[in-house]
């Protein structure tokens, strides 16, 4: 993975240099003005830029209204979407005409999204209507930014705010780097995952600052070789692999690295979650290390929900190393695995998690798993094991 990553990094640096030297297409040249709707102007600018090798679409400083847009290939070469201003989504979900996205980048090779600007999803009205979690068949609300089948690309220095649903969603992407992004939504905003990754490979997320109402980062089925480095998370539900096993024929998850970073006042810390009564599945080679927890409810958590029909998602080759800080609950380490397919090759090394409340120290629980414990252990190694 290291060699592949270095090759990807070099290619992306070349991509940055190439587009910086390219032709600029400013939406203002196509009738897009501040405080007005620039949907048509952006589509015209994108089409013109796509016809040129190494081009840049620019939305300069100012505030703009933007309807749902799909930005896609074929483009003649590398292309940059440079947002310097603030885009406002329509507040009313009805204006999306059933589309599950606001801004969608599709089937693009060599894309840069940059500029320091803000994608403001105006999600407040939609959150009031969001009943996901209360009903199984809920209507999906628009995601702020979708990347579908985008490869050899980089997203850096952008902000996503108050999305109606997920902030950034990756599907079928390859060799994509996300750097220095800021994602914000209130802690009680429903289903506003920061970055969701599905069926994608060779994804890196570096120096992201995410505070939202759901998972800061969530990893879905078919995802392989993801590295997050120095992600700051909170509020939110933590960094999660899963939920897995909700649907038939899900693809395996493997090669997940969560390195460094800080989680503060989140519902969970680092978590692997599968659905009960799930079809068979595989999640393997997942490693979490050098992470600080500040007042986190479930700092280390494998959640296979054994009190219901067991999950059939097999979890193996997992490590939690040098996880330290404070837990807002006494039960700081919970390894709750399936009694149908118990977890295997789980390592817990050098943990130091202190209970933030009064009356006692932290504890750990292990169910259907025999972890290997090394180094310092606070909480003490779990003594209750059920098989």
Calpha distance 265→231 (Å, rounded)? 14
Per the structure block, which two tokens stand in for 96?
A: 């999306």
- Cβ atoms 34, 63 nearer than 8 A: yes
Calpha distance 359→1 (Å, rounded)? 45
Enumerate residues 6+ apart whose C-beta is below 8 A from 386.
339, 367, 368
Active site includes 214? Answer: yes
Calpha distance 225→257 (Å, rounded)? 8
Helix (H) or strand (E) run with residue 221 in it: none
* Upstream peptide bond of 243 is cis (omega within 30 degrees of 0): yes
Per the structure block, which two tokens stand in for 154?
A: 């980089």
Enumerate residues 6+ apart whose C-beta is below 8 A from 94.
none
**Concatenated DSSP letters of 190-202:** TT--SEEEES-EE
**Concatenated DSSP letters of 232-301:** EE-SSS-EEEEEE-SSTTPPPEEEEEEES-EEES-S-SEEEEE-TTPPPEEEEEEEEEEEEEEEESSSEE
Helix (H) or strand (E) run with residue 321 in it: strand 313-327
- Cβ atoms 326, 357 nearer than 8 A: no
Calpha distance 170→200 (Å, rounded)? 7
- If you count them, how many residues does the chain have? 387
Active site includes 120? Answer: no
Per the structure block, which two tokens stand in for 122?
A: 């105006």
Q: State the first-to-last Cα distance of the chain, in angstroms, to the nearest integer.
A: 35
Q: Which of 167, 193, 237, 303 is catalytic?
A: 237
Q: Which of 214, 221, 225, 285 is catalytic?
A: 214
Catalytic residue numbers, as ranges: 214, 237
């Amino acid at each position: 993975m290291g060699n592949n990553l270095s090759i990807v990094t070099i290619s992306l640096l070349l991509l940055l240099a190439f587009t910086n030297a390219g032709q600029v297409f400013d939406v203002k040249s196509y009738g897009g003005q501040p405080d007005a709707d620039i949907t048509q102007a952006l589509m015209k600018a994108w089409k013109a830029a796509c016809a040129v090798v190494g081009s840049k679409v620019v939305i300069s400083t100012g505030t703009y209204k933007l309807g749902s847009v799909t930005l896609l290939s074929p483009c003649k070469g590398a292309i940059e979407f440079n947002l310097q201003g603030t885009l406002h989504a329509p507040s009313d979900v009805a204006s999306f005409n059933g589309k599950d996205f606001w801004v969608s980048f599709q089937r693009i090779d060599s894309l840069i999204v940059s500029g320091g600007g803000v994608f403001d999803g105006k999600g407040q009205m939609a959150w009031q209507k969001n009943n996901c979690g209360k009903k199984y068949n809920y209507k999906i609300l628009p995601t702020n930014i979708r990347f579908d089948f985008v490869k050899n690309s980089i997203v850096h220095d952008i902000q996503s705010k108050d999305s109606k649903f997920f902030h950034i969603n990756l599907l079928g992407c390859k060799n994509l780097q996300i750097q220095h992004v800021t994602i914000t939504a209130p802690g009680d905003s429903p289903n506003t995952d920061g970055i969701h990754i599905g069926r994608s490979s060779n994804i890196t997320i570096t120096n992201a600052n995410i505070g939202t109402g759901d998972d800061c980062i969530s990893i879905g089925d078919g995802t392989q070789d993801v590295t997050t480095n120095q992600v700051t998370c909170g509020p939110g539900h933590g960094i999660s692999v899963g939920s897995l096993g909700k649907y038939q024929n899900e693809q395996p998850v493997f090669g997940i690295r969560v390195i460094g970073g800080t989680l503060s006042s989140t519902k969970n810390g680092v978590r692997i979650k599968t659905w009960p009564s799930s079809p068979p599945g595989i999640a393997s080679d997942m490693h979490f290390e050098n992470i600080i927890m500040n007042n986190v409810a479930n700092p280390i958590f494998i959640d296979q929900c054994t009190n219901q029909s067991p999950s059939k998602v097999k979890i193996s080759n997992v490590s939690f190393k040098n996880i330290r800080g404070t837990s807002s609950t006494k039960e700081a380490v919970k390894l709750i695995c399936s009694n149908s397919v118990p977890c295997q090759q789980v390592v817990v090394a050098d943990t130091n998690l202190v209970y933030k409340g009064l009356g006692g120290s932290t504890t750990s629980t292990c169910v259907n798993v025999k972890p290997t414990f090394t180094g310092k252990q606070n909480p003490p190694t779990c003594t209750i094991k059920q098989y």
